[in-house]
Amino acid sequence: MAESPNLALGYNSTYELFDSPLMQAIRRESYGEDIGQYSWVTAAELREHLQSLKLTEQSRVLDFGCGPCGPLTFIAKNVGCQLVGVDLSAQALAVGAARAKRMEVSSLIELHQADGNSALPVRAGFDAVVSFDVILHLQDRATILKRFSSLLKPSGKILLTDAGVVTGAISNEEFALRSVNGFTQFVPPGFNEKILESCSFKILSITDRTDGLLHNASGRIRARSAHAEELIKIEGPEKFHEQQRYLETVVKLSERKALSRMVYLAEWSTR
């Protein structure tokens, strides 16, 4: 796999030790159940999404921005369907491939390193596209959602989460602190809905999951503080404190409902 061209993206350094015992313990302490996620999605939320998507062993699913393949390997293990993962970070995909092997689901999984701002190197004909907390890092979501529609079968579904919906007042300093993981785009309520509809998606449901994000971010701050000494040795003091400030900002913004995490479920209609 080729190295990611966007080395500025803050996620890359985090992926190096992603599946070490320490990081697994921190995820367990933060989320309750560690599925190898590097997003706000929990195992319980993912189980609900699987019900809504009505996936079967025969389904073929694209996980866009799959990162280290936590949700992707969880779906493979629980549903047994075929999955294609795409991410910008080669390091994340290497972590994901190793986990898929340990979970004995490698035969169900195909991984591609690619920049989602350009055409994706995948074959069309998906029953579903899922994307957990990625879309806010992409530059032109209208083009990307149009691309997803061309990759789906008729009546195929898309499940998209966006943790960057602006629902209150946010200062310039807070925007900067919330963007430390690389390019981040914040949108007003209704923005994603309008784009989905313009790409011929019929919206089936929109759910506010900000409370879950608040719970997980608070858990991450606590777990990281409890392991501060070990983490500072790995991340260095600067990166450690930057991530804590980032998480504290996430908590503040969600507590006062200034930034919301929304889940969009939609079906591609060929009409």
Q: Which residues bind ligand SAM (CB under 6 A)?
A: 9, 11, 37-39, 41, 65-67, 70-71, 87-89, 92, 115-117, 132-134, 137-138
Q: Which is nearer to ligand SAM, 95 or 152 (CB)?
A: 95
Q: Which is nearer to ligand SAM, 132 or 246 (CB)?
A: 132
Q: Which is nearer to ligand SAM, 127 or 133 (CB)?
A: 133
Closest separation in Å from C-beta 188 to ligand SAM: 21
- In whole angstroms, how close is the CB of 162 to ligand SAM at the nearest point? 11
**Which of 110, 115 has the CB closer to ligand SAM?**
115
Minimum CB separation from ligand SAM for residue 40, in Å? 8
Number of residue whose CB is nearest ligand SAM: 67
Q: Which is nearer to ligand SAM, 132 or 237 (CB)?
A: 132
Minimum distance from residue 269 beta carbon to ligand SAM (Å): 26
Report, in Å, the least distance between residue 132 CB and ligand SAM.
Answer: 4
User: Would you state the torsion angle of the CA atoms of residues 118, 206, 171, 168, taken in this order, to the nearest 10 degrees?
Assistant: 150
